[in-house]
Amino acid sequence: MNVARSALAAAGSVVLAAACLLVLDPGLVAAVPTDAAVAALGNDYLFVAAFGIAALVLVAAVLGGRAVSNVEQATPPRPETVERAPRFGSDFDETIDGEVGLRARLFSDRRETVRERLRENAIRAELAAESCRRTEARRRIAAGDWIDDPDAAAFLGASVSPPVRSRLRAAADGETWFQRGARRTAEAVVAKAEAAR
């Protein structure tokens, strides 16, 4: 197919060069035997129609050749994209903002996972802030002595119950005690960790 394409390109170049010469030098028109061709065909419209038919045959040959041959084109590479990763703390936000129903309370362990992660981070913040042993930090968190915020102390404390006013405030804000306690505990842990720096 490359040979035919090269031959057609060469023939087209020759015809184009001849047409350019005829346009640039009108004296060369007398050298082209058009009168004999018109006399042989009988009419000058048929002479033009012969060129049109030849052009259509060439177009059909090119299109037929493309349909039969396999045109292999390069596949462009996939554009680079930014890898999607979950935002830091998104599981915490989803648990706090999304799961408030009875089903989430009874059949999901995400709440307990959030509570344990907050407890572990509170232990680390207590260790950094108070320079105590891990067992002492756990005892203080279980007793609720690690922070002045009663909501955060009650959320992680084993023996501390949340104040009634905190439960009422959570209900008035349209959230559960778990949501309020988790948010307040996260804020307290961050404040304690920043104070230890």
Count other C-beta atoms under 10 Å from residue 127's C-beta.
Answer: 16
Count other C-beta atoms under 10 Å from residue 22's C-beta.
Answer: 14
Residues 153 and 108 in one domain: yes
The answer to the question of residue 81 being in a domain is no
Q: What residues of the chain score a pLDDT lower than 70?
A: 1, 70-73, 85-88, 90, 98-108, 160
Looking at residue 106, its pLDDT comes to 60
Residues 125 and 42 in one domain: no
The answer to the question of residue 164 being in a domain is yes
The answer to the question of residue 156 being in a domain is yes
Looking at residue 136, its pLDDT comes to 92
Last residue in a domain, options 68, 99, 121: 68
The answer to the question of residue 58 being in a domain is yes
181 in Cβ contact with 162 (< 8 Å): yes
Looking at residue 6, its pLDDT comes to 82
The answer to the question of residue 130 being in a domain is yes
Residues 56 and 108 in one domain: no
Count other C-beta atoms under 10 Å from residue 78's C-beta.
Answer: 6
Looking at residue 108, its pLDDT comes to 66
Residues 95 and 128 in one domain: yes
> How many domains does the chain divide into?
2
Model-level pTM? Answer: 0.52
Residues 58 and 138 in one domain: no
Residue recorded with tokens 């999607």: 84
Helices of type H across the chain: 2-24, 34-41, 44-68, 90-98, 102-107, 110-130, 134-143, 150-156, 164-172, 177-196
The answer to the question of residue 189 being in a domain is yes
The answer to the question of residue 76 being in a domain is no
Residues 157 and 115 in one domain: yes
The answer to the question of residue 75 being in a domain is no
The rounded distance, in Å, linking the Cα atoms of 21 and 191 is 88
Looking at residue 71, its pLDDT comes to 62
Looking at residue 123, its pLDDT comes to 92
Residues 111 and 17 in one domain: no
The rounded distance, in Å, linking the Cα atoms of 154 and 181 is 8
The rounded distance, in Å, linking the Cα atoms of 41 and 49 is 10
Helix 44-68 and helix 2-24, axial crossing angle in degrees, nearest 10: 150
Its domain, for residue 189, covers: 90-196
Residues 94 and 63 in one domain: no
Looking at residue 61, its pLDDT comes to 83
58 in Cβ contact with 5 (< 8 Å): no
